């Protein structure tokens, strides 16, 4: 989502995603906008396709909530390991849904009862087969434990609300 915007600063920029389709799209867009200072990798949870590469800036915004928490925590831990000394991380996590009981019940049914999601898509004027976006909340104690165990002590956080999902962007320096 942000790799091409960062690349416009003329700094070499690396994009990583677990989806081959997203990487292919990013490569097409980098070529379209003449941004040769980009690299893109499809990767696993340990980011092993990056080899030993480290970074001065690591950024992820409104991404982790779409990754199941166990996998997301592994990826986050691997990202922190790849940060250079004095490098900066800016990572956003959702930690709670700020929805009423009726909306929570509707979400529960939408995720678990066949065809309910497709019916809601039609009611909202979308294609019937538009996929349901996975939304996950992360335990902030676990996030901060990872940071502290990796000797990250310089942090700042900004609280956010993304359409009923409470989140935090954590700024940290190694």
**Mean pLDDT, all residues of the chain:** 91
Euclidean distance between CA atoms 172 and 127, whole angstroms: 40
Instruction: Count CB-CB contacts under 10 A for residue 59.
Output: 19
Closest CA to 95 of 171, 33, 162, 20: 162
Per DSSP, the three-state class of 97 is strand
Per DSSP, the three-state class of 130 is coil
Q: Are 94 and 65 in contact (CB under 8 A)?
A: yes
Q: Is the pLDDT of residue 83 over 80?
A: yes
Least confident of 14-28, 44-58, 102-116, 154-168: 102-116
pLDDT in tens, 86-132: 999 999 999 998 777 777 777 788 778 878 888 888 988 989 888 87
**Structure confidence at residue 61 (pLDDT):** 94
Residue 148: which region, alpha, beta or left (left: phi > 0; alpha: psi -120 to 50)? Answer: alpha
> Model-level pTM greater than 0.75?
yes
Closest CA to 37 of 56, 57, 55, 13: 13
Element (H, E) at 101: helix 101-112
**Structure confidence at residue 60 (pLDDT):** 95
**Structure confidence at residue 1 (pLDDT):** 72
Q: What's the mean pLDDT in 40-65?
A: 92
């Amino acid at each position: 989502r942000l790799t091409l915007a960062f690349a416009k600063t003329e700094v070499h920029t690396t994009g990583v995603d677990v989806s081959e389709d997203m990487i292919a799209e990013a490569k097409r867009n980098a070529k379209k906008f003449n941004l040769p200072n980009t690299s893109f990798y499809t990767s696993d949870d340990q980011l092993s396709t990056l080899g030993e590469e480290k970074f001065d800036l690591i950024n992820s915004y409104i991404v982790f909530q779409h990754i199941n928490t166990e996998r997301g925590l592994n990826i986050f831990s691997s990202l922190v390991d790849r940060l250079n000394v004095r490098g900066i991380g800016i990572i956003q996590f959702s930690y709670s849904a700020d929805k009423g009981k009726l909306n929570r019940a509707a979400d529960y049914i939408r995720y678990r009862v066949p065809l309910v999601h497709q019916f809601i898509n039609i009611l909202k004027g979308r294609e019937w087969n538009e996929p349901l976006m996975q939304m996950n909340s992360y335990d902030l104690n676990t996030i901060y434990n990872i940071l502290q165990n990796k000797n990250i002590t310089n942090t700042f956080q900004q609280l956010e609300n993304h359409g009923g999902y409470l989140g935090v962007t954590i700024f940290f320096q190694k």
